[in-house]
Amino acid sequence: MSSKMVRLHRVAKRYSSQRSALNDVSFDLHRGEFAYITGGNGAGKTTLLKLLFAMERATEGTILVNNRDLSIMPQGKVYQYRREVGFVFQDFKLLPDLTIYENVSLPLEIRKMTRQEVDYRVRGVLSLVGLGDRATDFPLTLSGGEQQRVAIARSIVGKPSLLLADEPTGNLDSRTARDILSLFREIHEMGTTVVIATHDEHLMEEFPARVLELHSGRVVRDKNSQER
Amino acid sequence: MNTRAVKRFARDYTRHPWLHLVSIMTITGALFVLGIFMVCYHNFDELASKTNPRVTGTAYLVDGLSTEKIDELYESIVLAEGVHKAVFKDKKQVLSELDSVLGSASLASVPGGEMFPDVIEIELKENVKPAAVDALTASLSQKPGISEVDFSDGWLAQYHKLRSILKVVGIALMVGMMIACSMIIANFMGMRHQSRREEMDIVQLMGAQRSFILWPFLWEGILEGLLAGVISLGALYISTVALSHYASVQWSTIFEGHKLAFLGPVQAGMLGCVGMLMALGGSLTVFFRFQSQSK
């Protein structure tokens, strides 16, 4: 396996003296790995992803992503880090006033890429997710599955080395959910490290990968896909 | 020019035209009111300068002065700082003029007429300040041969006071309008910017820097302010011309031959800048409000 891309060491996140979302979490992810983070409601899945995306800061411990220590990263540098990491939200977070093309091109507009480069990349990822002919439509005219595809397209258009997804199939029916997971697999096969937070056991069985199970903020199981 | 930011503003404009229109009209209204005040002040100023407010006064001479002494006093007054011209009048001329005003039959019938002194009537230069008048009065009063100097300059002080008050009121009005309109505009923009707030949050999650988020707000303020400035200046100009025409017809005895003056280029530019500042103030208020609420 290639080098370790994500390293968490004794990470904890506390919101108050009574409320602790994560406790003593340690694990590594290798470059190009595909992993699930699973657990019941309140297990700490979303909190863990937020820490990996620098949306929040760990109370204790260290988080290294591509050798960057997120626990001490200055707030003014967070925007640079986020350009290297893609994030797919459960509620898609598409902008309703923008077309599909404009939504997907946003990450590239932020990077001030040329019009030609933006067009090339956006059309490429829309084609990958199967929505090449819907570029001029608005998000509200799409189904839930299609909106999630757009969100995925937007998250990978910047060619991130790490892709995080928080319950990406939570609002979708089972068939659509499988299609979405297939898409994540396809992205993974292109070399992206993928981490998906989910509690859908059926999907994890259908698309086996490493599973990190959380319970009450602690890692209670770390099972490789080969271990059955 | 940040064309992407301008395009994002243009895109938001086409999607929320009515809210943008209300913002622009609010600024336009405020600028129009300010502009009316500026036009009034401008015309008052022009009128004041055209009427050449010259101060006049009289130096009363003591009795029994020789002709040489009178000439000497006359020369010193003509050469004094601020004096435009001076005219010597002996008591007979003074009584004659008084007689013509009063309509009396003869000099002898005016009681106490033998007590009138010789005078030197003085006319000062244009735009002389009250302090200069006071200094001249003091200086002339000390000259031997002059018993009293009287300049009726009370109205001049009032005139300067009025101009100063108008200036202060104008500035206060401008500042007050700017603050009030910025707040009103911020509220209208706030309504429109709820969707912009979502965009701000999402683009921050995608790695946008603060400047990327800020620029569309700045362009919105600049362009809306400029547009409002142009519209208000146009409306002001039309109103000025219309009012000037109406006044010259309805009140021809007063205004015949006189047209209302419009603002000069500097004043018009100032009005436009005020509009931009109001719009920018509104935009930035919204931006920083959202920034403080966002992650």
d(CA A55, CA B221): 31
Minimal Cβ distance to B195: which of A97, A106, A158: A97
Is pLDDT of B60 > 60?
Answer: yes
Q: How many CB pairs under 8 A join A and B?
A: 45
Mean pLDDT of B138-167: 79
Contact with chain B for residue A55, Cβ under 8 A = yes
Mean pLDDT of A192-219: 92
**Which residues partner with B56 through β-bridges?**
B123
Q: Which residue of A has its CA nearest to B201?
A: A93
Backbone angles phi, psi at A136, to 5 degrees: -95, 0
Is pLDDT of B5 > 90?
Answer: no
Residue that is last in its domain, among A115, A137, A159: A159
Does A82 contact B212 at a Cβ distance shorter than 8 Å? no
Whether A168 and A154 share a structural domain: no
Contact with chain B for residue A106, Cβ under 8 A = yes
Q: Does residue A116 sit within a domain?
A: yes
Whether A70 and A179 share a structural domain: yes
Per-residue pLDDT at B257: 60
Residue that is last in its domain, among A159, A177, A199: A159
Per-residue pLDDT at B252: 64
Give the count of domains, chain A. Answer: 2
Whether A151 and A168 share a structural domain: no
Does B15 contact A83 at a Cβ distance shorter than 8 Å? no
Does A107 contact B207 at a Cβ distance shorter than 8 Å? yes
Whether A115 and A224 share a structural domain: no
At B110-135, the pLDDT tens digits run: 555 566 789 999 988 877 777 888 88
Structural domain for A140, as ranges: 94-159
Q: Give A191's DSSP letter.
A: T
Q: Which residues of A touch B199 (CB under 8 A)?
A: 95, 97
Mean pLDDT of A90-108: 92
Per-residue pLDDT at A102: 93
Whether A68 and A180 share a structural domain: yes
CATH code at position A20: 3.40.50.300
d(CA B119, CA B61): 6
d(CA B195, CA B290): 11
Does A55 contact B205 at a Cβ distance shorter than 8 Å? yes
Q: Chain A 76-95, CB below 8 Å of chain B: which residues?
A: 79-83, 87, 93, 95
Q: Which residue of B has its CA nearest to A155?
A: B206
Is pLDDT of B104 > 60?
Answer: no
Whether A124 and A224 share a structural domain: no
- Which range has the top average pLDDT, A186-200, B146-160, B169-183, B270-284? A186-200
Task: Out of A69-78, A153-162, B147-156, B214-223, pick the least confident.
Answer: B147-156
Is pLDDT of A110 > 50?
Answer: yes
Task: Out of A21-35, A116-130, B49-63, B215-229, pick the least confident.
Answer: B49-63
> pLDDT category, A14, cuts 50, 70, 90?
very high
Q: What one-letter code names the amino acid at A96? A: P
Per-residue pLDDT at A1: 43
At A20-35, the pLDDT tens digits run: 899 999 999 999 999 9
Residue that is last in its domain, among A140, A159, A178: A159
Does B206 contact A107 at a Cβ distance shorter than 8 Å? yes
Per-residue pLDDT at B232: 94
Q: Does residue A35 sit within a domain?
A: yes
Per-residue pLDDT at A107: 94
Does A110 contact B195 at a Cβ distance shorter than 8 Å? no
Minimal Cβ distance to A110: which of B12, B195, B212: B212
Q: Does residue A228 sit within a domain?
A: yes
Q: Does residue A18 sit within a domain?
A: yes
Task: Out of B68-77, B157-166, B207-216, pick the least confident.
Answer: B157-166
d(CA A187, CA A97): 27
Whether A7 and A73 share a structural domain: yes
Q: What one-letter code names the amino acid at A189? A: E
Q: Which residues of A touch B203 (CB under 8 A)?
A: 106, 110
Q: Does residue A75 sit within a domain?
A: yes
Q: Does residue A70 sit within a domain?
A: yes
User: Is the separation of the CB atoms in B206 and A110 below 8 Å?
Assistant: yes
Whole-model pTM: value is 0.69
What is the CB-side half-sphere exposure of residue A180 using CA atoms within 13 A? 33
Mean pLDDT of B184-203: 74
Q: Give A143's DSSP letter.
A: -
Q: What CA–CA distances, in Å, run from A5 to A77, A141, A163, A192, A193?
A: 19, 38, 12, 11, 9
> pLDDT category, A213, cuts 50, 70, 90?
very high
Q: Which residue of B has its CA nearest to A160?
A: B206
Q: What one-letter code names the amino acid at B21? A: L
User: Is the separation of the CB atoms in B61 and B118 below 8 Å?
Assistant: yes
Contact with chain B for residue A115, Cβ under 8 A = no
Q: Does residue A89 sit within a domain?
A: no
Contact with chain A for residue B4, Cβ under 8 A = yes
Question: When comparing pLDDT for A6 and B259, which is higher?
Answer: A6
Is pLDDT of A121 > 90?
Answer: yes
Q: Is the ipTM of this complex over 0.95?
A: no
- What value does the CA radius of gyration of chain B take, rounded to a whole number of Å? 31
Does A87 contact B205 at a Cβ distance shorter than 8 Å? yes
At A151-180, the pLDDT tens digits run: 999 999 999 999 999 999 988 888 999 999
> pLDDT category, B230, cuts 50, 70, 90?
very high
Minimal Cβ distance to A110: which of B198, B206, B295: B206
Q: What one-letter code names the amino acid at A85? A: V
d(CA B35, CA B44): 14
Does B207 contact A81 at a Cβ distance shorter than 8 Å? yes
Contact with chain B for residue A117, Cβ under 8 A = no
**Residues 6+ positions from A175 with CB-CB distance below 8 Å:** none
Alpha helix stretches (DSSP H) within chain B: 3-15, 17-50, 67-78, 91-102, 130-141, 154-205, 210-250, 252-255, 265-293
Mean pLDDT of A45-74: 94
Closest CA to B138 of B223, B74, B80: B80
Q: Does residue A58 sit within a domain?
A: yes
